[in-house]
Structure 1
Amino acid sequence: MKRKVLSTLLCATMVVSMAACGGKTTTDGGNTSAAPAATEKAAESKAETTAETTAETAAKASEDAIVLTYAEVNPLDTIVGMTGQKFKEEVESRSNGSIIIDIQASGVLGTENEVLDGMLGGTGTVDISRISAFALTSYGGEKSKLLSLPYTFVSRDHFWKFAESDLAREFLDEPSQNGTNLIGLFYGEEGFRHFFTKDPVSGIDDFKGKKIRVSNDPVMVGLVSGLGANATEVAFTELYSALQTGVCDGAEQPIANYKSNAFDEVAPNLILDGHTLGAIQVVISEDAWNKLTEEQQNILMEAGKAAGEYNKSISEQKENEVLDALRASGVNVVDVDDKTPWQEATKQVIADNIKGQEDLYQKILDLAK
């Protein structure tokens, strides 16, 4: 096209030259410098127009983007916080910025239960939330309850066999099927959960009579009671001060969360009983889900899959790094070589919470083989 334009310009120049010389043809080269100059100017103008159009399009895309608020009770530097950031990156990249994930971390939007109450109440404040799988227990999550039973998962590999199996989708779909109006996007984990206390502990006998913080969850209440301790319900956002003032003698969390929330400052004794693997689930409200096109819904699902794989790749390494740092800082870390007494003490809470789902629970256990 450029060659054709240049040829036309040259021909026009020759015609003008011939007219000026009375029709006489000349062999002198005409002044052709005007053609490239015009072409360069046109190219610059086109580039400027394209840049302006691109900027306008990007600005319009930003204005038209769907913003989904994502609640996270822990800081961004935890395993779950990093997983949320990965999900955000994947969604925004795959949607070319047409979907924005606004992460509100460190519990600024409330506890997991407060966030879930808001999502189910249709307040519109939170669209997506990262929750502990057992948080759904209080909202009719009978299947989710099985994931929080003590000593169910014998290893991380065991959990990921579940999370990557067809069985996991059945669990993720439970909230929407039982009318809870939540849709499960993906699973992850934040490491095994362990107890920590204000006073030194050396074994299970040291828990008798202690006030151990629990969330509003029957499984955790049963677990703590089975150990001979007193289950004390305290909001997670109030746990630090509860430990500091003696309202609680101890609590339990994954290692990364224990450190990130500075619980080691007020309860510097960590006993590695590994009673539960901290299974996490990311859920979206049906109201938010239904505002998305099918293509956008698929983007969230694919981004969730990528975030889950990322979670799997970092969890153990990050947990080990934190544990090493805790040991180095002087935290009294107690290893539990024999978990048999702990398992015996929690048999009743397992039996009480698998009623009617014995076969399903056995399927989870069988994945360890």
Structure 2
Amino acid sequence: MSFLSGMKKVALGAVLAGTAATTAGAVELRGWNIHVEDYPVSIAMDSFMAEVAERTNGDVTGKTYHNGVLGSQPDAIEQIRLGVIDFGEFSLGPMGQSIPETNVVSLPFIFKSIPQMYELMDGAVGDAIGEGMKAKGIVPLGWYDAGARSFYNSVRPINTPADVEGLKIRVMSNDLFVKMVESMDGNATPMAFAEVYQSIKTGVVDGAENNPPSYDSTNHFEVAKYYSLTEHLIIPECLCMSLKSWEKLTADQQEILKDAGHKSAVLQRELWAAREAKSMETVKAGGTEVNTIADKAPFQAAMAPVYESFLANNPDLTGLVDMIRNAD
């Protein structure tokens, strides 16, 4: 698929007009964000841009457009790569179809915990993934937290892989997630996130998988009362910038953006943890039956075919996968 498909997207790019505007040395950036203004991601992004403006003495300013007003996530990723939008915050999941390195973090159970994910993404693993992104026109500035994704459904608690058998589970549109559910003999159903509530309510699917704030804020807990903490996916998100926009900055400005990006990630992680705890309280108060998985080893073992298939198709990423799996 080409970066732009026809004149329609060219017109969209012209409307967005997000390329870094430069006047007498000043740079004004335009940022994309899918979330509402009081979401942890949104607050951290606003903090990032405020710090950049202050530390550059107003030479680099900008605005984050929340609520997805600059388009859908797939379109925005294209626009970032083209330099039409200057910066944005994206899940690495949707990037995996076009940037293989980002798909590594979508492998089930590849991270052992959220703290381990922080450590690895802030180090050599994040650097390696960042190089793959840069080759596709995207520069990472900070790694945000999207929590751990777990299964929820309207039928039964999930304690072992056998409990997934026969369940119709909505997944994001990524072959890895389809294979993940199929490896436990479940029926994976990719569909738009906006369709999930009604689909569970009407029995089109039995459930889905997501982090606690998403399970809470969408009211999915009203129609899927069993929330099983498999924590099978820990997929970081990226505050990132268009390489085209990045290259218009001075070296000093680039250093300021990188430092401010990391600081915004630290803030976002703190805000996310608080939001996650509040969401768990909300869904439990709403009648959700939450169960913790005592032994995740059977789930991890069931993922062997997913890893085998992925590495067979991406042998050059074996070293990166091993770097994460062998980390303490």
Superposition TM-score, scaled by structure 1 size: 0.73
Aligned residue in 2 for 1:361: 321
2 CA distance for matches of 1:257 and 1:155? Answer: 19
- Label 1:249 to 1:286 Cα distance change in 2 as closer, same or farther (>3 A): same
Q: Secondary structure at the match of 2:236?
A: strand
Output aligned runs, 1:315-334, within 5 Å. 315-334=272-291
**Does structure 1 retain, via aligned residues, the 8 Å contact 2:83–2:242?**
no
Give 5+ residue unaligned stretches, structure 2: 1-21
- Label 1:367 to 1:123 Cα distance change in 2 as closer, same or farther (>3 A): closer
1:301 to 258, 264, 268: 258
Q: Which entry has the higher C-alpha Rg, 1 or 2?
A: 1
Q: Secondary structure at the match of 1:129?
A: strand
Q: Which moved more, 1:275-284 or 1:210-219?
A: 210-219
Structure 1 residue 250 corresponds to structure 2 residue 207: yes
Aligned residue in 1 for 2:141: 185
- Compute the displacement of 1:151 (Å): 0.9
- Label 1:197 to 1:100 Cα distance change in 2 as closer, same or farther (>3 A): farther
Q: Which moved more, 1:183-192 or 1:241-250?
A: 241-250
Q: Secondary structure at the match of 2:179?
A: helix
Aligned residue in 1 for 2:76: 115
- Label 1:110 to 1:222 Cα distance change in 2 as closer, same or farther (>3 A): farther
- Compute the displacement of 1:65 (Å): 5.6
- 1:311-345 superposed Cα distances (whole Å, 9 cap, x missing partner): 34343343223212321222221221121221122
- Label 1:240 to 1:129 Cα distance change in 2 as closer, same or farther (>3 A): farther
Output aligned runs, 1:125-136, within 5 Å. 126-136=85-95
Aligned residue in 2 for 1:157: 115
Q: Which moved more, 1:95-104 or 1:318-327?
A: 95-104
Q: Which moved more, 1:222-231 or 1:352-361?
A: 352-361
Q: Counterpart of 1:127 in structure 2: which amino acid?
A: D
**Does structure 2 retain, via aligned residues, the 8 Å contact 1:70–1:102?**
yes
Q: Counterpart of 2:144 in structure 1: which amino acid?
A: G
Structure 1 residue 172 corresponds to structure 2 residue 133: no
**Does structure 2 retain, via aligned residues, the 8 Å contact 1:78–1:257?**
no
Q: Counterpart of 1:309 in structure 2: which amino acid?
A: V
1 CA distance for matches of 2:181 and 2:246? Answer: 37
- Label 1:262 to 1:300 Cα distance change in 2 as closer, same or farther (>3 A): farther
Structure 1 residue 201 corresponds to structure 2 residue 157: yes
- Label 1:79 to 1:336 Cα distance change in 2 as closer, same or farther (>3 A): farther
- Compute the displacement of 1:62 (Å): 11
Q: Counterpart of 2:324 in structure 1: which amino acid?
A: I
**Does structure 1 retain, via aligned residues, the 8 Å contact 2:222–2:286?**
no
**Does structure 1 retain, via aligned residues, the 8 Å contact 2:157–2:228?**
yes
1 CA distance for matches of 2:46 and 2:29? Answer: 13
- 1:7-58 superposed Cα distances (whole Å, 9 cap, x missing partner): xxxxxxxxxxxxxxxxxxxxxxxxxxxxxxxxxxxxxxxxxxxxxxxxxxxx
- Compute the displacement of 1:223 (Å): 0.8
- Label 1:92 to 1:258 Cα distance change in 2 as closer, same or farther (>3 A): farther
Aligned residue in 2 for 1:75: 36
2 CA distance for matches of 1:334 and 1:62? Answer: 56
1 CA distance for matches of 2:194 and 2:273? Answer: 25
1 CA distance for matches of 2:110 and 2:171? Answer: 19
- Label 1:80 to 1:169 Cα distance change in 2 as closer, same or farther (>3 A): same
- Compute the displacement of 1:262 (Å): 2.9
Alignment length (residue pairs):
303
Structure 1 residue 213 corresponds to structure 2 residue 170: yes
- Compute the displacement of 1:64 (Å): 8.5
**Does structure 2 retain, via aligned residues, the 8 Å contact 1:111–1:237?**
no
Q: Secondary structure at the match of 1:354?
A: helix
Q: Secondary structure at the match of 1:337?
A: coil
- 1:254-306 superposed Cα distances (whole Å, 9 cap, x missing partner): 21222223332333332110001131112222232233333332222111111
Aligned residue in 1 for 2:8: none
**Does structure 1 retain, via aligned residues, the 8 Å contact 2:125–2:320?**
no
Q: Counterpart of 1:191 in structure 2: which amino acid?
A: G
Give 5+ residue unaligned stretches, structure 1: 1-60
2 CA distance for matches of 1:130 and 1:366? Answer: 28
- Compute the displacement of 1:185 (Å): 1.7
Percent identity of paired positions between Structure 1 and Structure 2: 25
**Does structure 2 retain, via aligned residues, the 8 Å contact 1:107–1:237?**
no
2 CA distance for matches of 1:63 and 1:104? Answer: 24
**Does structure 1 retain, via aligned residues, the 8 Å contact 2:154–2:226?**
yes
2 CA distance for matches of 1:252 and 1:244? Answer: 15
**Does structure 1 retain, via aligned residues, the 8 Å contact 2:229–2:292?**
yes
Q: Counterpart of 1:326 in structure 2: which amino acid?
A: V
Aligned residue in 2 for 1:102: 63
- Compute the displacement of 1:216 (Å): 2.2
**Does structure 2 retain, via aligned residues, the 8 Å contact 1:70–1:128?**
yes
Superposition TM-score, scaled by structure 2 size: 0.81
1 CA distance for matches of 2:204 and 2:44? Answer: 32
- Label 1:167 to 1:344 Cα distance change in 2 as closer, same or farther (>3 A): closer
- Compute the displacement of 1:193 (Å): 0.9
**Does structure 1 retain, via aligned residues, the 8 Å contact 2:153–2:224?**
yes
